[in-house]
């Protein structure tokens, strides 16, 4: 299955584009795009919000590029409360985990390890 790209978004073409929330309100301008370590697919965008010049990380997977604008299917308040890790650096797996939890997203199945709370999933009750 390797090589299948989930999004048809070219990361280089995203820089400088506007990002809107689910209600069509402007969040800001895309500063940087972060690629998944394992697949090389664009996974997160850092959006300069103009609010204290901080960047908000938004997930690209459920977002869509519509007429050169990135439509992010979350409320602006949630986006602005996303963890801010600063731009220009690599996102650690722990930081990505925080972002997935913040947005209530499932971890991609490409991740090697399951989240800890799912560790016992699939075992039958009383099978110790």
The tens digit of pLDDT for each residue in 46-79 reads: 999 876 668 899 999 899 999 999 999 999 999 9
Please give the full DSSP string across 37-55, using - where no structure is assigned: TTT--EEEEEEE-SSTT-E
Helix, strand or coil, per DSSP, at residue 61: coil
> 44 pairs with which residues across the strands?
34, 59
pLDDT digits (tens, 9 = 90+) for 84-102: 888 777 888 899 999 999 9
Query: In this structure, what token pair is assigned to residue 78?
Result: 């949630």
* Residue 125 pLDDT grade (very low, low, confident, very high; cuts 50, 70, 90): low
Whole-angstrom distance, CA of residue 12 vs CA of residue 24: 23
């Amino acid at each position: 299955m390797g090589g299948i790209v989930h999004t048809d978004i070219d990361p280089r073409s995203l820089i400088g584009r506007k990002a809107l929330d689910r209600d069509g309100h402007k969040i800001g301008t895309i500063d940087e795009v972060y690629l998944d370590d394992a697949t090389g697919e664009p996974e997160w965008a850092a959006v300069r919000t103009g609010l204290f010049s901080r960047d908000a990380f938004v997930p690209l997977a459920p977002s869509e590029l519509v007429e050169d604008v990135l439509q992010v299917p979350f409320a602006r308040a949630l986006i602005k409360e996303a963890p801010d890790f600063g731009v220009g650096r690599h996102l650690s797996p722990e930081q990505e985990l925080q972002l997935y939890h913040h947005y209530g997203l499932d971890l991609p199945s490409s991740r090697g390890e399951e989240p800890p709370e799912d560790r016992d999933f699939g075992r039958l009750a009383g099978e110790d």
